């Protein structure tokens, strides 16, 4: 896999090159100025740089594109975070009267991190991800993207790979940027179905009537569940994982199912047994019995870090920042090609820097006989495609041309 070419010890050597020749400053600046409609929108924005040895430099701000570029090329941050738009220039926050320096606006953001799914994935844990569990991110994006657009009426959504084990969403609509902290947390809670910590076994409880938002989300989960949960994760195969699933159904049903499972080993048939039980219960019980749906949601529904979304001044890793551990660039994700998005194909900083140095290859040169080199070439062009397409076009498509205020310019 391409990440093996990255060695974090090289980061200090690669970053200057990255910021000098690759970072898309212009698009980045255009995004954060939002057409220049509001005065000082870019100038009052906080940036936070993380330097070598985890030194955080908060309250950075820049008055022009040029200044941003110069400063980044001077500091060569390991990581860049974006904060709020403040009432004053963040780099002068010490000089304004205390209390009057206030965070005014920020994109509404969401952070989904694979570590929060550790209780429901068996393929990896903690910071590790694989193509199997990546499906969880695909599901999360599908569900949230739909709800943010259709339920909340937002249109300018930027989805970004975090560079390691998750995704971020930046909702850039003007209305979203102006939301109060209370409104942000209400949106985040509306979107949260998984409740409870280490001490909660059953994390999803549905009650009648089932809200249209949950129905829509269930439709997404149902689409992925058979392949992802029943096959890839095989949640109904091993004893422990079966027990975990059965802990989510009522006791009487559990006993019956345990018996049935003794004669039936196939995951999909076992799942059908669970669904049949749920249907049976539903026709008899008067109160809602939705344990089949609850299981699906508990295993697949997105887990949001509500605290990140709540605060106006909360920092979030910037798009195009490099992840210092993996070396991968935080690239925007094109939703039209979401199902084929592969985090392991996202270029690392070493790879794209290396590409820069390589002499330009013409079309015909792709026919080099050497098999390994051919492999390399394919890889490289693949990466260029991802970089070229995602980074620049997406910024252009989603944030610039479609924002109505910019169309009128």
Partner 1 sequence: MLFSGRRKKFGTSIQTELYVQPLQFYGQPPLENISLSEFETFAVDRLKLLKTVENLGVSYVKQSEQYSKKLDSELKTLNFPYRSEVDDRKLPGGPSESEKRRKDHISHFILRLAYCQTEDLRRWFIQQEVDLFRYRFNGLLSKQKLEFLHKNNLQYDAISLKEKKELKEKLVSSTYAISGITVEDQDFYKVPFQDALDLVRTRKVYLKEGYAYIPHQDIVTIVLNDFRTRLSKALALTARSLPAVHSDERLQPLLNHLSHAYLGQDYSIQKNVGKISLEQIDSLSGKSFPLCMRQLHQALRENHHLRHGGRMQYGLFLKGIGLSLEQALQFWRSEFIRGKVDGDKFDKAYAYSIRHMFGKEGKRTDYTPYSCMKVILSNPPSQGDYHGCPFRHSDPELLKQKLQVFKVSPSGIVQIMELVKGMHYQLACQKYFELTHNVEDTPFSLSHPNQYFSESQKLLGGGGGGKELKREVDASQRSQENSSSRGFSAAQEAADSEHEAEMTKDLNAFFEDV
CA pair distance 346, 384, nearest whole angstrom: 10
| Smallest distance, partner 1 to C-beta of residue 136, A | 13
Q: Is 10 in the site for Zn ion (CB under 5 A)?
A: no
CA pair distance 322, 381, nearest whole angstrom: 20
Q: Is 345 in the site for Zn ion (CB under 5 A)?
A: no
CA pair distance 16, 78, nearest whole angstrom: 10
List beta partners, residue 57.
49
CA 147 → CA 100, 144, 268, 340, distances in Å?
Answer: 35, 5, 29, 22
Single out the catalytic residue among 69, 81, 107, 111: 111
- Pick from 198, 240, 357, 364 the residue near partner 1 by CB under 8 A: 198
**Cα end-to-end distance, the chain, whole Å:** 44
Pairing between strand 103-105 and 79-86? antiparallel
Question: Which residues, numbered 61-80, are part of the site for Zn ion (CB under 5 A)?
Answer: none
Considering beta carbons, is residue 190 or 344 the nearer one to partner 1? 190
Site track for partner 1 across 7-46, x = CB under 8 A: ----------------------------------------
DSSP state of 320: T
Single out the catalytic residue among 107, 113, 173, 294: 113
- The item of partner 1, Zn ion, none sharing an interface with residue 130, based on CB under 5 to 8 Å by kind, is Zn ion
DSSP state of 205: -
234 in catalytic set = no
DSSP state of 96: S
342 in catalytic set = no
Q: Is 114 in the site for Zn ion (CB under 5 A)?
A: no
CA pair distance 208, 210, nearest whole angstrom: 5
Query: Quick one: which segment of 132-140, 195-203, 221-229, 276-284 binds partner 1 (CB under 8 A)?
Result: 195-203
Q: Is 272 in the site for partner 1 (CB under 8 A)?
A: no
CA pair distance 384, 359, nearest whole angstrom: 14
CB atoms within 10 A of CB 7: 11
CA pair distance 258, 126, nearest whole angstrom: 31
Question: Which residues, numbered 123-162, are part of the site for Zn ion (CB under 5 A)?
Answer: 123-124, 130, 132-133
Q: Is 269 in the site for partner 1 (CB under 8 A)?
A: no
| Smallest distance, partner 1 to C-beta of residue 191, A | 9
- Under 8 Å between Cβ of 157 and 148: yes
366 in catalytic set = no
Q: Is the dihedral of CA 330, 331, 336, 339 positive or negative?
A: negative
Q: Is 54 in the site for partner 1 (CB under 8 A)?
A: yes
Considering beta carbons, is residue 303 or 383 the nearer one to partner 1? 303
Estimate the crossing angle of helix 239-246 against helix 251-263, to 10 degrees: 150
Question: Which residues, numbered 205-234, are part of the site for Zn ion (CB under 5 A)?
Answer: none
CA pair distance 157, 164, nearest whole angstrom: 20
Considering beta carbons, is residue 50 or 350 the nearer one to partner 1? 50
Considering beta carbons, is residue 100 or 284 the nearer one to partner 1? 100
Single out the catalytic residue among 46, 69, 107, 232: 46
Q: Is 57 in the site for Zn ion (CB under 5 A)?
A: no
Q: Where along the sequence are the contacts to partner 1 (CB under 8 A)? A: 53-54, 115-119, 150-154, 175, 179-180, 182-183, 185-187, 189-190, 194-202, 209-215, 303, 305-306
């Amino acid at each position: 896999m391409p990440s093996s070419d990255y060695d974090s010890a090289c980061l200090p050597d690669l970053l200057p090159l990255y910021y000098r020749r690759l970072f898309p400053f212009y698009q980045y600046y255009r995004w954060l100025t939002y057409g220049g409609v509001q005065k000082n929108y870019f100038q009052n924005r906080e940036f936070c740089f993380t330097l070598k040895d985890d030194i955080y430099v908060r309250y950075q701000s820049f008055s022009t594109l040029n200044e941003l570029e110069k400063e980044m090329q001077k500091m060569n941050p390991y990581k860049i975070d974006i904060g709020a738009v403040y009432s004053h220039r963040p780099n002068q926050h010490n000089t304004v009267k205390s209390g009057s320096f206030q965070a005014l606006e920020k994109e509404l953001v969401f952070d989904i991190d694979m570590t929060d799914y550790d209780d429901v994935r068996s393929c990896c844990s903690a910071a590790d991800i694989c193509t199997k569990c990546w499906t969880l991110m695909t599901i999360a994006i599908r569900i949230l993207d739909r709800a943010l657009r259709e339920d909340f009426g937002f249109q300018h959504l930027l989805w970004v790979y975090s560079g390691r084990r998750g995704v971020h969403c930046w909702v850039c609509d003007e209305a979203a940027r102006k939301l109060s902290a209370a409104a942000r947390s209400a949106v985040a809670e509306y979107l949260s179905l998984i409740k409870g910590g280490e001490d909660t076994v059953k994390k999803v409880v549905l009650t009648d009537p089932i809200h249209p938002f949950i129905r829509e989300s269930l439709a997404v989960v149902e689409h992925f569940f058979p392949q992802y949960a029943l096959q890839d994760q095989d949640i109904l195969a091993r004893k422990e994982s079966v027990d975990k699933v059965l802990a989510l159904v009522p006791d009487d049903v559990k006993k019956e199912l345990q018996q049935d499972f003794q004669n039936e080993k196939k995951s999909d048939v076992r799942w059908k047994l669970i669904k049949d039980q749920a249907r049976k219960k539903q026709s008899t019980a008067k109160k809602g019995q939705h344990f089949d749906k609850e299981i699906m949601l508990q295993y697949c529904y997105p887990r949001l870090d509500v605290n990140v979304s709540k605060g106006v001044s909360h920092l979030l890793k910037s798009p195009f920042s490099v992840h210092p551990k993996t070396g991968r660039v935080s690239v925007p994700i094109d939703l039209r090609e979401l199902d084929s998005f592969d985090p392991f194909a996202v270029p690392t900083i070493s790879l794209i820097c290396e590409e820069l140095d390589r002499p330009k290859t013409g079309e015909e040169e792709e026919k080099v006989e050497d098999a390994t080199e051919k492999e390399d070439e394919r890889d490289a062009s693949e990466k260029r495609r991802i970089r070229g397409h995602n980074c620049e076009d997406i910024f252009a498509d989603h944030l610039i041309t479609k924002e109505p205020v910019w169309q009128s310019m």
